[in-house]
């Protein structure tokens, strides 16, 4: 009897041991499965975080070169941009420098032909263009424009003894008009008389505004249409010339930015507002164009 009981107890112990082992095995499998699931979830979370970080980095990269803000201009448009020794200075240069500083970037100014600025911004050679540039419907088809930061006046330069006394006389006569290629003066003057211009036949284009003024002084053309502030500087430097009292047109200046770079557009507009509100931009303009001057 004792032997039977012993065998039953032994069988029971063996059964319990087998069951325990099976339970351990299942527990281990459960633990492994849980660990694997946790690891997989962790890996997925890490991948997701990496993707998120990559997207953030891509969003933060809003200039063509890290740490730089590349500006295209034509540095022969005093007082907006011109050379002082080897350095480009002026209203646009100082405003751009203030914007770059606010964005934590180093400003790099590229001096190029005026009529290549919009194309260069469009093809991503430059981050933005700033050259006393007027917002026009034609240019808006190629680039975005920032908020306006200054107002310009298109003026007419003539000789002091010129028979051209006002804009109407300029448009109605048979006079040759000099302009800088690609500027609004060029666009306006090249349009038909019905649209306020003189037509292609009477327009003579020059790569620089100063070249047009020299041609006027030499008697090769009868007038020059250009921004009022550079016009005053050219007249001061060339005897026998004057700026007509009647302006040709009033326009707004803004910065040209690639249509795809909406992040830079937003940042520049925000910077322009802050720099206007704190008096920085008005002070820069006053420095070059004194209100009492």
Supply the pLDDT for residue 47: 52
Q: How far apart are CA 187 and CA 171, in angstroms?
A: 14
pLDDT band at 152 (very low <50, low <70, confident <90, very high): confident
Query: pLDDT at position 60, please?
Result: 66
Mean pLDDT computed over 255-265: 98
Query: pTM of the predicted model, to two decimals?
Result: 0.66
Paired with 89 in beta bridges are: 82
User: Does the structure show a pLDDT above 50 at 21?
Assistant: no
Q: What is the pLDDT of residues 208-242, one digit of tens each?
A: 999 999 999 999 999 999 999 899 999 999 999 99
Q: How confident is the model at residue 196 (pLDDT cuts 50, 70, 90)?
A: confident
The conformational region for residue 225 under phi > 0 = left, psi -120 to 50 = alpha, else beta, is: beta
Element (H, E) at 242: strand 241-243
Q: Report the pLDDT value the prediction gives residue 45, as an integer from 0 to 100.
A: 47
Beta bridge partners of 145: 256
Confidence tier at 12 by pLDDT (50, 70, 90):
very low
**Are 105 and 61 spatial neighbours (Cβ–Cβ below 8 Å)?**
no
Domains and CATH numbers, the chain: 68-149+254-288 (3.40.190.10), 152-251 (3.40.190.10)
> In the structure encoding, which two tokens stand for residue 239, read together?
């005897």
- What torsion, rounded to 10 degrees, do the Cα atoms 168, 173, 178, 181 define? 80
Structural contact between residues 164 and 158, judged by C-beta atoms closer than 8 angstroms: yes
Residue 18 vs residue 143, higher pLDDT? 143
């Amino acid at each position: 009897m004792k032997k039977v009981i012993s065998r039953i107890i032994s069988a029971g112990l063996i059964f319990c041991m087998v069951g325990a082992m099976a339970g351990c095995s299942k527990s281990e499998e459960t633990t492994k499965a849980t660990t694997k699931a946790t690891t997989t979830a962790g890996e997925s979370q890490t991948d997701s975080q990496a993707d998120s970080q990559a997207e953030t980095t891509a969003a933060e990269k809003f200039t063509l070169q890290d740490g730089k803000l590349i500006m295209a201009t034509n540095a022969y448009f005093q007082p907006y941009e011109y050379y002082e020794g080897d350095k480009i200075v002026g209203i646009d240069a100082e405003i751009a420098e203030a914007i770059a500083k606010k964005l934590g970037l180093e400003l790099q100014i590229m001096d190029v032909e005026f009529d290549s600025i919009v194309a260069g911004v469009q093809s991503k050679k430059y981050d933005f263009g700033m050259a006393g540039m007027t917002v026009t419907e034609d240019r808006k088809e190629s680039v975005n424009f920032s908020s306006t930061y200054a107002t310009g006046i298109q003026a007419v330069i003539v000789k002091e003894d010129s028979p051209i006394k006002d804009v109407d006389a300029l448009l109605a006569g048979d006079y040759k008009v000099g302009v800088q290629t690609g500027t609004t003066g060029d666009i306006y003057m090249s349009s038909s008389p019905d649209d306020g211009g003189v037509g292609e036949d009477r327009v003579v284009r020059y790569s620089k505004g100063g070249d047009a003024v020299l041609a006027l002084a030499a008697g090769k053309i009868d007038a020059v249409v250009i921004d009022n502030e550079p016009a005053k500087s050219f007249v001061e430097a060339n005897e026998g010339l004057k700026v007509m009292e009647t302006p040709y047109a009033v326009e707004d200046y803004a910065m040209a930015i690639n249509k795809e770079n909406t992040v830079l557009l937003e940042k520049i507009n925000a910077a322009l507002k802050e720099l206007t509100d704190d008096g920085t931009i008005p002070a820069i303009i006053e420095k070059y164009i004194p209100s009492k001057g």
